Amino acid sequence: MSDFELDLHDTAVAFADRSDAEMREKYRLFKLMGSPFLSGIGMSSAKFALSLGLPIESIIKKTVFEQFCGGETIEECEPVIRRLGNSNIGTILDYSVEGKTTEADFDATKDEIIRTIKRAKDDPDIPFAVFKFTGIAPLGTLERLSAKKKLDAKSQMKCESITARVAEICQTAYDLDQPVFIDAEDSWIQDAIDRLATDMMSRYNRERPIVFNTIQMYRKGRLEFLKESRRQAAEDGYHYAVKLVRGAYMEKERERAEEMGYESPILETKEETDEAFDAAIEYSLKHYEDMSFVNATHNETSVRKLAMRMHERNIPFDHPHIFFSQLYGMNDTVSYVLASKGFNVSKYVPYGPIKDAVPYLIRRAQENTSVAGQMGRELKLIKAELKRRGLR
């Protein structure tokens, strides 16, 4: 491995499974999304039109939905699962239904999450399952639990239902030997999620890593939380498993803190966030033999750092405790090049009814226009591949 190189801009590898027509469409869509005005207006208009019952689902499905989602059902995701699998990239089926409020809806979402776990069983192309607490629990109850407020009888019943749903998901994952991620969410509900995630790890990670919590490193104090969580797991005798991300709700977090008059939980600068994220990865790599971790980032610097550190330390690229992960439809160069070198790589593949997936798609449109240089990088790589193929 002395001549190891990692060219994260190798478009021939990244787009090998894309036809010329698909590349042209990808270019057109990303160019459109490169305009904050057009992407914002477009997705907001789509949400409004869907609320009025206007027949635009087919337009959404053939454009932004097809770029960032696998389909409306697990069955519709099968071609994406196979396509990614053929390039040694795993699929994480992410049921992206949000904003539900009834117990019946929460139970239905829990049942669908369990379907993803069962679909993943014994399929090497689906290494993980995933769920969000807000898909199976009312926001208000999560907020009260995080604030450690006294619960009335109604809230207590809801709390018991939340715990039962989470336990059923994690028990299924354990029974089928199928690891599952618990995604991170807003800071004001995260404490409740962390506590229950820790309880599930303590219960189900005794023999192997089944339940993974998620830590958003753009939050203050999260590096210390990571270290303390690993120490607690070592002391209590279970395998600590974590997905490390920078974070996805920065504007929302800062606006709420300002409106409500408390200190923002978000680090002040991008540089501080980068340092915290890389420190978390370095700490996890130091302890990789007794913990599992996922480097879930699109940041090329952070990806390269971990890959090179594994190379320098002669850690097998496919070590079962170390993973990389990105979102479907984004940073394909990173995912495909890593996979071509033998690293463990997976893509989050959201799916669900189009009308329910619009909030997720709006976030992707906003993320692509708000992250400094993200659209420019994506477009530059797509244009480079088009040119390489003689299409420009």
pLDDT attached to residue 62: 77
Name the strand (E) or helix (H) holding 167: helix 153-175
Read off the tokens for 199. 């309880």
Tokens 């830590």 belong to which residue?
A: 215
Element (H, E) at 291: strand 291-296
| 267-275 long-range Cβ contacts below 8 angstroms, 24+ apart | 267/218, 267/219, 267/220, 270/372, 273/217, 273/218, 273/246, 273/247, 274/299, 274/301, 274/302
Torsion of CA 306, 308, 313, 314, to 10 degrees: 110
Whether 114 is in a domain gets the answer yes
Quick one: pLDDT at residue 31?
81
The structure tokens listed for 187 are 């800071």
Residue 372 covered by a domain: no
**Token pair in block for residue 96:** 């992206």
Place of tokens 């519709």: 76
Q: Provide the pLDDT for residue 67.
A: 86
- Does any domain span residue 247? yes
pLDDT along the chain (392 residues), means of 10: 82 95 90 59 58 68 84 97 98 90 96 98 97 96 96 95 98 98 97 98 98 98 98 98 94 95 96 97 98 96 97 98 95 96 97 84 60 68 95 87
Number of domains in the chain: 1
- Return the structure tokens found at 51: 């609320």
Distances (CA, A) of 110 to 113, 251, 362: 5, 29, 24
Q: Which amino acid is at 353?
A: P
CATH number for the domain including 290?
3.20.20.220
Whether 135 is covered by a domain: the verdict is: yes
Q: How many residues does the chain have?
A: 392
- Report if residue 1 sits inside a domain: no
pLDDT of residue 37: 44
Q: Which residues, at least 6 apart from 87, have a Cβ–Cβ distance to it below 8 Å? A: 16, 17, 336, 339, 340
Q: Any residues with CB less than 8 A from the CB of 134 and at least 6 apart, and which? A: 98, 142, 185, 189
Please check whether residue 235 lies inside any domain of the structure: yes
Judge whether 63 lies within some domain: no
Range of the domain at 178: 100-296
* Cα–chain center distance at 281: 16
Specify if 231 maps to a domain. Answer: yes
